[in-house]
Every structure is written in C-alpha cells, then in structure tokens.
Chain A
C-alpha cells in the first residue's frame, strides 16, 4: 500500500527539548517537503528536498532542522530555538517536475507541555 507515513500522530514537547517528527514514503518520489499549518494561516513551507543529501530552507526554517540521508525518509527536528512550535505539521512528496501534484501524509500535531 503506497503512501506517506508520518509519526507520531500526536507529540508533546517540554520547554528546551528537541523533538523529531518522522516522515517516510514508499512512492519512489525524489522531492519531499515539510509544511506547518496554523489555524487561519494556511500552509507555510519549512524545508524541502529535491534529492538525497540536499535540502533547502523554506519560508519559516528558523528553529527547525532536517536531513535527507535516504530517498524514503525526511525527518524534521523542532529545536528548542523554535519558540512557538505548537502546530499541525504536514509532510509531502512529489515526483520531479514543476506541474506535479503533492502527496501528503496524515500529519503530526505538536503541542507544548
């Protein structure tokens, strides 16, 4: 069953703690993305990766970090430098090409304790 798997579904962060959100895809897609969703603000791009071992900052990269060591995996770390991390985080992937649609995971809700 092909798709994108995000885990965990719910995550809680203590102050000063780094947390990592997992994103795995078995669609053989080259490109992967992380978006943050806040109520009334739509989706904002955090980081994206077009190919293994390469990634670029999106519009709101501060306080976040990523890695792309494998084609299938694109984990996102929310660092302690991100002062307002409570949000719904969405991972997506696509094939190469400017007109290709994105496939989304089911999301991770991150909350601060």
Chain B
C-alpha cells in the first residue's frame, strides 16, 4: 500500500519570504513523487516530479522540492513567495516499477501568501 501525508492544512507566509510545504510518504519500494497545484474551481496543474537521481528537483514557477529517502519526505520549497502562489498544493506518490499503479494524493495544503 502507498500513502501520502501533508501534515499542515494551511501554511501562511509573507510575500518575499521563503516557503515550505511539507509532505511525507509511505511506499513498499522506491517512489515516484509529484507536486501539483490547484487554483480555485480549477483542475490540478503539474509542478514537478522526482523519479531518480538528484535529490533536489526544480519545477515550474520557481518551485523546487527535496527528496529525502531517510526521512521519507518530499517537501516543496520556494526561496521567495509571491501573492500569486496562494493556492492548494497536493503531494502525490506512485510506486516505482510496479507495472501499473495509480497516483495516491495527500489531502492538500492551502498556501496563503500575504502582501
């Protein structure tokens, strides 16, 4: 079984400050890890993914995420937050080399960036 935990329902940060949205995962094997963003009343948009290799993954809109195998974490980060980054963020996991498996999503973290 695979699962994802996003321990924070909401993260508040001031514009210009660094932001972190936390994600931990559980899979019985090596994971594929993803971050998606959702703006109000819209579908999800892909931000970035970790497959293998460098633990620091860079994605869209200046976001990056760090894969930490020992802590089973994949936290989303951005050095300087923008008000327009305010949205709902989802972490997702899929088991690697499983033939065919589906994505399991976390419950989401609302990011609010204040001016």
Contact = CB atoms under 8 A, between A and B. Distances in A.
Same assembly:
yes
Interface size grouping (class) on chain A? 20 to 34
Interface in A10-64: 33, 35, 40-45, 48, 50, 58
Nearest to B44: A104
B46 A42 contact: no
B97 interface: yes
Contact of A106 (B42, B49, B90, B95): B42
B41 A42 contact: no
A33 B102 CA distance: 9
B59 to A, nearest CB: 11
Contacts of A6: 43
B102 A107 contact: no
Given A99-B49, A101-B49, A104-B45, A40 B101 contact: no
A50 B100 contact: yes
Interface string B24-37: 00000000101010
A98 B97 contact: yes
Contact of B102 (A48, A99, A109): A48
- What are the nearest 10 A-B pairs in CB distance? A104-B43, A42-B107, A43-B105, A101-B46, A104-B44, A42-B105, A99-B32, A99-B51, A106-B43, A105-B43
19 contacts: A40-B9, A40-B108, A42-B90, A42-B107, A45-B102, A45-B103, A48-B102, A98-B94, A98-B99, A99-B96, A101-B34, A102-B36, A102-B46, A102-B103, A104-B36, A104-B44, A106-B42, A107-B41, A107-B43
Interface of B: 9, 32, 34, 36, 41-46, 49, 51, 90, 94-103, 105-108
